[in-house]
Amino acid sequence: MKELNTALNCLPGDTPVQVPASQLEIYETMRWWHQRQALQLNAQATEIRDGLLQELFALRRGLEVWAEGNHNASSHHHHDWLQKIERLHQDLERISNHLSPPYLEESLPLAIQYAAESWRTHYPQLEFVLDSPVQRSSESPARSRIILTTLHEFLQIIRLNFPEVDSLRISLSLQEIESRLAIEIPDVSQSTLASFLASDHLKYLSQAFELLTLGKCLHQQRELEITWYFLWQEEGLRQQ
């Protein structure tokens, strides 16, 4: 595979995503981005309202009955309460991690590594091969959140368009001048690839990433493998 250069330019064979040129295109792209974030927040709120709060109510009611005088509750009930409390703890931890991803304030590589563990649980049929540096990054928390959110949305697009894919390689490269996030998708058919590249979600995601980071999105295809690149420069460099 061809090496990408370090100036956010396209090499022969690289296909860039077109950056929205008009105010209407920018508006539509950013509206899509905020709608996706709103959907995620609504899903978390629904889970809290219909899941966690219901569990808490049932647990509280059980404890109230016990406190009213039924002190002969069996060990089975005690075990059941402990299991419910453990489930509540796990669900709260998962929701908390989604709202504020761990390590995001400290290191983008660590944040992606931690998120990958959650993805492995959420997509058990998909094998993740992660190639990420161990050093701390200089990215701001706001920039790291954009990159992590972009990767999360991209994975959802992959699962929607490539249900047959059973493995992904995610590579993160942090350089002084330019950084790169690459996702290799192997063994894709031409029909599904065409549908993937024509996806409105992919177009809006790529354009939103470019607008929010002033970076670039490229893809390279080699036979039945496609690699998608998200590239960006350090915030200080792009302001010069």
With 0.85 as the threshold, say if the pTM is over it.
Answer: no
Higher confidence at residue 84 or residue 64? Answer: 84
What's the pLDDT score for residue 170? 93
pLDDT digits (tens, 9 = 90+) for 154-213: 999 998 888 888 889 999 998 878 899 999 999 888 888 888 999 999 999 999 999 999
What's the pLDDT score for residue 9? 45
Residue 137 near residue 109, CB atoms below 8 Å: yes
pLDDT digits (tens, 9 = 90+) for 4-52: 433 344 444 555 555 566 888 888 999 999 988 888 877 777 777 777 7
Q: How far apart are CA 220 and CA 14, in angstroms?
A: 5
Half-sphere exposure of 90 (CA within 13 A, CB side): 7
Q: How far apart are CA 115 and CA 107, in angstroms?
A: 12
Angle, vertex CA 112, rays to CA 190 and CA 226, nearest 5? 15
Residue 209 near residue 146, CB atoms below 8 Å: yes
Going from N- to C-terminal start, the domains of the chain cover 15-21+103-238, 39-99
What's the pLDDT score for residue 177? 81
Please state the separation of Cα 144 from the chain's center in Å: 11
- Does CATH place domain 15-21+103-238 in 3.30.70.360? no
**How many H-runs (helices) and E-runs (strands) does the chain carry?**
8, 6
The dihedrals phi and psi of 235, each to the nearest 5 degrees, come to -60, -35
What's the pLDDT score for residue 227? 94
Nearest to 132 by CA among 165, 99, 172: 172
Angle, vertex CA 165, rays to CA 41 and CA 229, nearest 5? 70
Query: What are the structure tokens assigned to 25, written together?
Result: 């295109």
Q: How far apart are CA 206 and CA 154, in angstroms?
A: 9
Q: How far apart are CA 32 and CA 154, in angstroms?
A: 14
- Beta bridge partners, 218, equal 16, 229
Q: How far apart are CA 164 and CA 158, in angstroms?
A: 10
Mean pLDDT of 127-148: 83
Nearest to 132 by CA among 92, 78, 101, 174: 174
Residue type, 112: I
pLDDT digits (tens, 9 = 90+) for 213-236: 999 999 998 888 899 999 998 776
Residue 181 near residue 229, CB atoms below 8 Å: yes
